[in-house]
A = this chain, B = another copy of it.
Amino acid sequence: MIRTLALVLALGAALTAEAADKPTRIPDAALKTAAELRERASSDDTAWNFTEGLTTEIGARLAGGDNDQKARDWVAARFKALGFDKVWSEPVTYPKWVRRSESASLVSPYPHPLAVLALGYSPATPAGGIEAEVVAFASLDALKAAPDASVRGKIVYVGPRMHAKKNGEDYGIGSTVRVTGPALASTKGAAAFVLRSAGTDDNRTPHTGVTDFSNGAKPIPAAALSNPDADLLENVLKRGQPVTMKLALDCGIEGTYTGANVIGEVTGKGKPNEYFIMGGHLDSWDPGTGAIDDASGIAIAAGAAHLIAELPQRPRRSIRVVAFANEEAGLYGGKAYAAAHAREIAHAVLGSESDLGADRIWQITATVKPSARDAIGAIAEAIKPLGVEYDASAPGRGGSDLSAVHAVGMAAVSLHQDATRYFEWHHTANDTLDKIDPAQLRQNVAVYSVVAYLAAQADGDFGSGPNAFPADESE
């Protein structure tokens, strides 16, 4: 038995190696159908109706919160209504963080109320709040370099400013402060941490988001000020007098919660076990209704899959649409999917998640095996009429949850939305339906439908396999 098995495994490896050398091809007939999908997407409002429905009939979807189950039920019902062949859920368990209330104010030298939001995983302050002197740093490096004595018992403020960019690169600045700043301040003895919101706007709508104490630092209360409030604080600090702030947060972790990834499938007729995977995340932060982050992501994928489902015949491979659970607080949905499907990850031939709003997709990048690079080029050609550029030299790790699936071996493509406006509203009360432009949303659906369909019809694969893509820097 053992020798036989070894022979089969060796034969399999040889076949795989041979397949890897033969270039993956996109059939001409598939390209013709893709052109039809592109055309039909331009007048299809499935994604708009999905986004409008989820944000209107459910709204805010904090992972583990009151709307979590309702949102899963809503999405499963909509997937069925859209004619998907199979709809199912896969459980995802994570710590349940709850927000009850928050407030902040400058106490002296000039009293002002401050617009503030607690960060995900922030613990509560003592009842009644913390009142302490503010010590400000322009950057995390400046905080690192400060003597602990200058920080101990104080409220640390770190305030670099993000600027709007098409590729959203400044989010690296803001999110690093948010994710790592509180733990760093904690190790230096700070009483609490506040940051300038990781956002590009000038609205009194702070940007929440997750922070991280998994390095073992004692969790301290952590919150984001809106940009105008951060400006005000800095202008007060400039006057050189001691500045006292009061911060009262009621929030924290309440055990664990088991939610689910909700999955809809248009089942392929040739290789039904292989699939293209796309989607977005079902959870949102709670201040808004989670329209751009990320109802639209699921909606784009659902709209694209629906167009494919309406073709005269099913595609060769299956199309999976996933509404991932709890992306916001640590890619829990993506990690759960990766863990559950790691062994047959070769079946996930290619994947892409939409999690950067719904403005126009302007670029495609991919991380695939070398012999599939020409096929990606052919796919890129098919979406070029939609205004999408191909950067063959940059990686594409699939985005958000699917980057966790890519990490276990799924070939991935990234379809980059124009992020110029995204960080004005991301993680704020302003993440609402009005921020979605229906015309740009349709362009997203067109791009996703073409990419999904061509991947499903490809002759050959894109290199997915257990640990096929060695760990590299995260996207």
- Which A residues have a C-beta under 8 Å from some C-beta of B? 52, 55-60, 66, 110-113, 115, 202-205, 227-228, 231-232, 235-236, 287-289, 428-430, 432-435
Contacts and interface: CB of A to CB of B under 8 A. Distances in A.
Given A52-B235, A56-B235, A235-B52, A202 B112 contact: no
B112 A289 contact: yes
Nearest to A233: B56
Contact of A59 (B52, B110, B204, B288): B110
Contacts of A432: 202, 204, 228, 231-232
Contacts of A57: 110
A442 to B, nearest CB: 19
Given A203-B203, A203-B205, A205-B205, A232 B433 contact: yes
Leading 8 A-B pairs by shortest Cβ distance: A204-B429, A228-B432, A202-B434, A56-B235, A59-B112, A203-B203, A57-B110, A228-B434
A433 B56 contact: no
A430 B289 contact: no
A288 B430 contact: no
Nearest to A204: B429
Nearest to A66: B111
A430 B56 contact: no
A159 to B, nearest CB: 14
A356 to B, nearest CB: 19
B430 A202 contact: yes
A110 B58 contact: yes
A204 B430 CA distance: 6
Given A59-B112, A232-B433, 18 more contacts: A56-B232, A56-B235, A56-B236, A57-B110, A59-B110, A59-B232, A60-B113, A66-B111, A112-B289, A202-B435, A204-B430, A227-B434, A228-B433, A228-B434, A231-B432, A231-B434, A232-B432, A235-B433
B289 A232 contact: yes
A314 to B, nearest CB: 33
Contacts of A204: 205, 287-288, 428-430, 432
A227 to B, nearest CB: 7
Contacts of A66: 111
12 contacts: A52-B235, A56-B232, A58-B110, A59-B111, A59-B112, A66-B111, A202-B430, A202-B432, A203-B205, A204-B287, A204-B432, A227-B434
Contacts of A228: 430, 432-434
Contacts of A435: 202
A439 to B, nearest CB: 17
Nearest to A234: B56
Contacts of A115: 429
A56 B429 CA distance: 25
Nearest to A52: B235
Nearest to A229: B432
Nearest to A112: B59
Contacts of A203: 203, 205, 430
A52 B429 CA distance: 27
A39 B59 CA distance: 54
A421 to B, nearest CB: 11
Contacts of A112: 59-60, 289
Contacts of A202: 430, 432, 434-435
